[in-house]
């Protein structure tokens, strides 16, 4: 059995965070483990306002001992870390235990919350985790933060950011253009365009832009699917392409949880793209 792990926050609503990661690992037929860094809650009596409850340093270290020294994942991804000690522990265990791939999802914004989370951690993520990553998966906002490139609205901006992020030590960068790039006019209408840079070559990765407002957890799912692919021995390009198809299928079966939030459906590939809801193909 191929084992994979996520170091991430728990999304109590189930659509993002380690819940999305574990569902994704399961769909790839892998054995998933999780070290939880924080618990994110959402208040139905206050407009779905987010709460964050960090897991203490000792409890996080004990989980990482279990996952890395007790079992040993083939690949690992990290998501929302939430504290300086979580960044340090992540670096310590990933550097200290060999893994086939480390996918760094530099979660700095949460769609529901709308503003930067823990901006004080961005420097530490860039300095301590970037150099360990097989691939980093920023969205446009996160790519701007990590690269210093401002106002990314097109593929040229994404390429400049990807190059700057590789220069900081990442082996590869996958900048996600998503709906924002299309809204800026940087991608053709109805297309979701991402840029992969491996330090030498740029690769445009294109797919259908699924027309839905229910995209909660799409970033987590993308990184988890790449992690699963790397764990299973796919090349980075193969893992990226598998993740892209997997997420498009997931989004084409997305649904509302309530008036505020709706996730993709990671089991969608079993139903099939052609069975997606009308208007979502
Ligand atoms: O989608 C970003 C994200 C990541 N991790 C956790 C979250 C969220 C957004 O809600 O709750 C735990």
pTM > 0.75: yes
Q: Is residue 245 pLDDT above 80, yes or no?
A: yes
Closest CA to 141 of 163, 124, 157: 157
| Any atom of ligand 1 within 6 Å of the Cβ of 121 | no
CA of 137 to the centre of ligand 1 (A): 14
Q: Is residue 281 pLDDT above 50, yes or no?
A: no
For the stretch 124-163, pLDDT in tens is: 999 999 999 999 999 999 999 999 999 999 999 999 999 9
Q: Is residue 277 part of a domain?
A: no
Q: Rounded mean pLDDT of the chain?
A: 93
What's the CATH code of the domain at 71?
3.40.1190.20
Q: Is residue 279 part of a domain?
A: no
**Alpha-carbon distance values, 67 to 36, 74, 130, 174, 188 (Å):** 11, 11, 21, 26, 43
pLDDT at 117: 74
| Percent of the chain scoring above 90 in pLDDT | 89
Distance of CA 257 to the CA centre of its chain: 21
Q: Is residue 94 pLDDT above 90, yes or no?
A: yes
Range of the domain at 144: 3-265
> DSSP letters of 127-163?
IIIGGG-SEE--BHHHHHHHH------SHHHHHHHHH
Atom of ligand 1 nearest to the CA of 216: 1
| Any atom of ligand 1 within 6 Å of the Cβ of 16 | yes
For the stretch 174-223, pLDDT in tens is: 999 999 999 999 999 999 999 999 999 999 999 999 999 999 999 999 99
Q: Is residue 86 part of a domain?
A: yes
| Any atom of ligand 1 within 6 Å of the Cβ of 11 | yes
Name the strands in the sheet holding 135-136, side by side, starting at the edge strand that comes first in the sequence. 49-54, 31-43, 3-11, 75-78, 101-104, 135-136, 173-176, 191-197, 202-208
Atom of ligand 1 nearest to the CA of 13: 11
pLDDT band at 100 (very low <50, low <70, confident <90, very high): confident
pLDDT band at 111 (very low <50, low <70, confident <90, very high): low
Q: Is residue 273 part of a domain?
A: no
Number of folded domains in the chain? Answer: 1
CA distance 34 to 8: 7
CA of 80 to the centre of ligand 1 (A): 7
């Amino acid at each position: 059995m191929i084992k994979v792990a996520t170091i991430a926050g728990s999304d109590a609503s189930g659509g993002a965070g380690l819940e999305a990661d574990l569902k994704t690992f399961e769909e790839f037929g892998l054995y998933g483990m999780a070290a939880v860094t924080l618990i994110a809650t959402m208040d139905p009596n206050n407009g779905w306002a987010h709460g964050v409850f960090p897991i203490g340093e000792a409890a996080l270290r004990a989980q990482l001992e279990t996952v890395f020294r007790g079992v040993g994942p083939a690949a690992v991804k990290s998501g929302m870390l939430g504290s300086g000690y979580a960044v340090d522990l992540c670096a310590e265990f990933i550097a200290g235990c060999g893994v086939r791939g480390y996918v760094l999802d530099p979660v700095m914004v949460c769609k529901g919350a709308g503003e930067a989370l823990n901006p004080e951690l961005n420097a530490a993520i860039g300095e301590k985790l970037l150099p360990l990553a097989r691939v980093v998966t920023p969205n446009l906002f996160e790519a701007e933060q990590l690269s210093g490139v401002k106002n990314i609205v097109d593929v040229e901006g994404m390429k400049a950011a990807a190059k700057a992020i590789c220069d900081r030590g990442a082996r590869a960068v996958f900048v996600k253009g998503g709906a924002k790039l299309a809204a800026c006019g940087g991608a053709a209408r109805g297309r979701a365009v991402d840029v992969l840079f491996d330090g030498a070559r740029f690769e445009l990765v294109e797919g259908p832009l699924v027309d839905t407002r229910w995209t909660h957890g799409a970033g987590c799912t993308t990184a988890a699917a790449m992690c699963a692919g790397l764990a299973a021995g796919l090349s980075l390009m193969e893992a990226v392409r598998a993740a892209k198809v997997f997420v498009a299928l997931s989004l084409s079966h997305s649904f509302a949880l309530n008036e505020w939030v709706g996730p993709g459906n990671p089991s969608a590939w079993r139903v099939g793209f052609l069975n997606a809801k009308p208007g979502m193909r």
